[in-house]
Amino acid sequence: MPVFTSSELRDKPELSSHWSSFGIMEIPRGKDIRPHFHDCDEWWIITDGHAMVMTEGEEYEVQAGAMVYTPMGEEHGVLEVYRDLKGAWFEGPLQGQQRRGHLHHPKDD
């Protein structure tokens, strides 16, 4: 099957073995994504908008055409959205404890 959705990844074809999850992100101006980490590497591809993001302890201004890469276990987030941010995200294979979703350190709660 060459076309599938993120909800079908639990029964993913062998072709997608390099990804554990993917999706579309749309973050309106004035919103943010709290810093978090994953049990996998993650890539964001920015297709529209303008924002300040954080990954691996550094802040970066991003806009259309940028790709943000964050290795497994490193915190990252969207700190401020100046113009509605749109793009796609991909997560590599789960590793370590293989937990899904946004993970937070106890100190961040």
In a domain, 78, yes or no: yes
In a domain, 40, yes or no: yes
In a domain, 14, yes or no: no
Domain span including residue 61: 22-108
**Strand 67-70, strand 42-55: pairing:** antiparallel
Residue 47 near residue 88 (C-beta atoms within 8 A): yes
Cβ atoms within 10 Å of 40's Cβ, excluding its own: 22
In a domain, 6, yes or no: no
Dump pLDDT digits (tens) for 67-79: 999 999 999 999 9
In a domain, 59, yes or no: yes
Strand-pairing partners, residue 58, are 55
Domain count, the chain: 1
For the whole prediction, is pTM greater than 0.85?
Answer: no
In a domain, 29, yes or no: yes
Mean pLDDT of 95-104: 87
Domain with residue 60: its CATH number is 2.60.120.10
The tokens for 83 are 């113009």
Mean pLDDT of 16-31: 86
Give the distance between the most distant pair of CA atoms in the chain.
43
